[in-house]
Every structure is written in structure tokens, then in C-alpha cells.
Amino acid sequence: MPQLLLRIFFTLAITISMAGCQEEPINHPNIILFLVDDMGWQDTSVPFHNDTTAFNRFYHTPSMERLAREGMMFTQAYASSVCSPTRISLMTGMNPARHRVTNWTLWKNKSQDAPHDVLSFPEWNMNGMSPVAGIENTVYATPLPQILKDAGYFTIHCGKAHLGAITTPAADPENIGFDINIAGHAAGGPGSYYGSRNFGNQAGEHTLPWGIPGLEKYHGEDIYLNEALTIEAMNALDSALTTGQPFFLYMAHYAIHAPIQEDSRFLESYLNDSIPIIESRYASMVESMDKSLGDLMAYIDDHGLANQTIILFMSDNGGLSASVRGGIPHTHNRPLSSGKGSAHEGGIREPMIVKWPGTIEPGSKWNGYLIIEDFFPTILEMAGISSVETIQPIDGKSFMPILKGKDNTINSRSLFWHFPNNWGPKGPGIGATSTIRKGDWKLIYYYEDQSYELFNIQEDLGEYHNLAAEYPQKVDSLSRELTHFLKSVDAQRPSFKTTGEPCPWPNQSK
């Protein structure tokens, strides 16, 4: 199909998708997307489970508690199991199986797949996304912030970008539509959280790959990265307010990604002889992140913007748990199984809250499921952008009807995850996998040995009981649907080292 016809088709598809959800004119509200890195579902005092857990009682996140009181909690919000796939899906509206940024990115044309004894891995889009065509190993797409900017938004990026490999265009967020970039570059973690250590830089220079750029004025100072980023974000908001434009602030914290370095402002209350010190340090990082959220909410209140501002809170993948990394954990994710890098719930289920005064019922909760690519069409609809021309097809579905309390049919669809890679660590649900969630049922397919795990998530949240042998017909139907989706988006597969042949599709398992 010619490129022009493709663009017309995708524009029409998004227009139709959004048109059914708009019953009255939408103004252009301010939007804050607060994205946390590596935050598990239970790493908060807000209970996303049916009951308050020991972990909810351990962590102290009063700002998240306030956001939940004033907004809507989502108890089954999903992302990818590692960071770059989530972030590219957020910025493009595409599922990772389609955009092919299926593992984390860093160096140009260098795969981050760990070596594997049995499998070879495809040449995935290891350079991330690109706003321009013709760059190898990238997905060429129309970025979310560029659409918002073109619609009149003042766009601010603050914190972790991790959208393009070093020296590629998307390594700089300003190249994908942000008016201001604060501290964002190609790397997905900080060299240090401490200003006294120059945030991982050598004196007077940006030190690749982990040194955080753009915060030189804080070098040598006793300040934590979360605080410096929050100060800079509020300075950028000051600039936005002078323009008279609505703003989109993408507050993408590096926290609570490793290294686990405590914020001394909050550590003391977590020190306990019965708790490993690494967990106390991690908890102080969680509270530090929450303080940033509270500071931004206070800024919005102080400037009389609360009724004009939407706040979305989300994490990019699950916490790095003991069952994955081995040794002493810094988080657990229980009652969920496993953690970051895993197709189990601990790797993909995230804490999510949305506040929208005048639209969302305060203190409400939605127990259906959604996935990270849904943010793309939803944010556009929030911004009053009812039609848009994109280079890429959009896999995400707007959850605006849920926010308005008018519809829950979004939960009748299937969700898909695809990871034809090798992250490295071992643990439950980790490996080259493809996964489908349909209703209460979840099927994980492992490419290495063509095995299945089948869980009823409603009855077995911890994924203790593999029901694949008991329900072969369910395995068959789900594997067929999963395979159909993967083929429809031209998904990549790993291959066997011994033969060079691609691994079977999920419905071709022995």
C-alpha cells in the first residue's frame, strides 16, 4: 500500500476510535505524566491488592495516597518487563512485537542480549525509535510529544529518556518533540544519585554512558537526583506558564532504578535490625520519588492549576526482585511472582493512578486491565486531539471511557507481550517468551523448549499453579490467537544455534 494511503488509513482509524468517546468539546488541559523506573506493584503504601499487605505498611508514599484519594486507581495496569520496550510503546502507541524495540537500548548497533547456550536472537531495533527515516535498527514513528507540540502544547521532558541509542536522534528528547529536555539522554540508569558525586560524571564533563547530563550546576552539592530534577521541572513549568500554552510534563524519574543509593532525608525511619539495609535504602528512594510527586502537586495547587491539570502515574516495569536477581533483594513484589524481566505478573503489573478533576470520580478504582500502549491514544484524547496523522499504526486503545465511568468493554480484548531476547538474569517467567492475557487466562510460551505456562490470574494471582496440562484446549485456543497476532505484526523470533532455524510459533509447539 503506498505511504500516503497508509497515512490516511491510520489517521482515519484513530479518528474513528476516538470519535465514539467524545460527547462534548474537550479543552486543552495541562498533562503531567509521572513515570517511575523499576517500581513494583507493592512498593507503595497504596494497596493495589484486595488487602493491605505488609509491604504497603512498610513503605511511606503519602503523595501517592493523596493522588489515589483524588483520582482513580488501576489495579491491573501492565507494561513491558524491561524499560525500553515500555517507553517506546508509550511514545508510539505500538506493541513491542510491532516496533521491535524488545530489549533495553544503549550503544548504537549493539544488542544488549546476554549470551545464550541454545538460542540466537534476532536483529531487533536496538537503536530505539527515530523521528526520521533511514536509520538502521530503529522504528520510524511519529512521537507523542511531537503531536502534542504541534497541537499547541509546551512540552517538557525531565529525567530518564532511554528512547534512542547513543548518537541516534532520539537519544535527545528535543528531537522527538520536547521543547525542553532536562537530564534525558540514551542511558537508562544514573551513574549516581548524588550531586556530591556529580551524578556519575567526571568533573567538568558528561561521562558516557551513565553520567547524567545537564545538571552541572548541582555538581559537588549535597542534593539528591530526585530533588534536583523536581526543582528543574518546576523551573520549566514557570517557563511554560509565561507562554499561555497548555503544558505536557513528562516527569520520568531515574528512580528507583539501581544503583540502590539512599536518600538520607528519608532513610532513618526505615532502619530496623530485622530489615536488610538494602531494603531500607530502597524504601528511602521510593519515598524520595513520592516527595517529588507531592512537590509537583503542590506546585499545581499553588498556581491555581489543579482543576486544569491531569496527572497520570505509572511505572515502566516491575521491581527487581529476589527471585530474579538472587541474593538479598531490594524489593519483593509479593503476592506477585517474580519481577523485572519476567513475563510473570511481578515483571509487568504496575502501580497506576490517574487524577482528572471534574472527569474522574475521586477515590474510584478500576479492576479491569490495560497496557502501556493505551497511554498514547488516551493522552491525545485528553488533549482534545481527535484525529492525528501518524506514520505508524496504533495498537493502543483509549481508556477515556473508563475514566469517564461510561464503558468497560476495553477489558474484553486480549493483551500481548513479546520478548524474543535474553535479558540475562534467571527466574520465574524469564527467558525468550511470548504471552497473551485474555480475560482471567494468561498463557506464556517459552521459545527455548516450546513449553507453556497457563494461569488463571483471577484465582491464582501469584501464578503458583501451571494449568497447561489440565486445560489443553485453552492452551490451544490462546496459542493460536497469540500466533495470529505475532504474525500479523511481523514479529521476530529467536533461532536455534544448532540449526539456524527459527523457533516454532506458539501454536506449533510439540
pLDDT at 323: 63
SS (H, E, C) 369-431: EEEHHHHHHHHHHHCCCCCCCCCCCCCCCCCHHHHCCCCCHHHHCEEEEEECCCCCCCCCCCC
- Residue 144 phi/psi, 5-degree rounding, is -55, -50
Residue 332 Rama label (left phi>0; alpha psi -120 to 50; beta): alpha
CB neighbours of residue 22 within 10 Å:
13
Domains in the chain, start-ordered, CATH in brackets? 3-508 (3.40.720.10)
- Residues near 23 by beta carbon (within 8 Å), at least 6 away in sequence: none
- 230's CB contacts (< 8 A; 6+ apart) are 291, 292, 295, 296
Q: What is the pLDDT of residue 92?
A: 98
- The CA distance from 12 to 431, in Å, is 38
CA distance readout (Å), 297 to 55, 201, 303, 309, 375: 25, 31, 10, 10, 21
The C-alpha atoms of residue 74 and residue 69 are separated, in whole angstroms, by 13
Q: How far is it, in rounded angstroms, from Cα 409 to Cα 398?
A: 11
The SS3 call for residue 158 is strand
- From first to last of its 510 residues, the chain has per-residue pLDDT tens of 433 334 433 443 443 344 333 334 348 999 999 999 999 999 999 999 988 999 999 999 999 999 999 999 999 999 999 999 999 999 999 999 999 999 999 999 999 999 999 999 999 999 999 999 999 999 999 999 999 999 999 999 999 999 999 999 999 999 999 999 999 999 999 999 999 999 999 987 899 999 999 999 999 999 999 999 999 999 999 999 999 999 999 999 999 999 999 999 999 999 987 888 999 999 999 999 999 999 999 999 999 999 999 999 999 999 988 666 556 678 888 899 999 999 999 999 999 999 999 999 999 999 999 999 999 999 999 999 988 899 999 999 999 999 998 876 667 899 999 999 999 888 899 999 999 999 999 999 999 999 999 999 999 999 999 999 999 999 999 999 999 999 999 999 999 999 999 999 999 865
pTM (2 d.p.): 0.93
What's the confidence (pLDDT) of residue 284?
A: 97
**Where does residue 471 rank: exposed (0-12), middle (13-18), buried (19+ CB within 10 A)?**
middle
What is the pLDDT at residue 325?
58
Kindly tell me the burial class for residue 508, based on how many C-beta atoms sit within 10 Å of its own C-beta (0-12, 13-18, 19 or more).
Answer: exposed
| Bridge pairing between strands 349-355 and 309-315 | antiparallel
SS3 320: coil
Is 145:248 a contact under the CB 8 Å cutoff?
A: yes
CA 91 to mean position of chain CA atoms: 10
CB 456 within 8 A of CB 441: yes
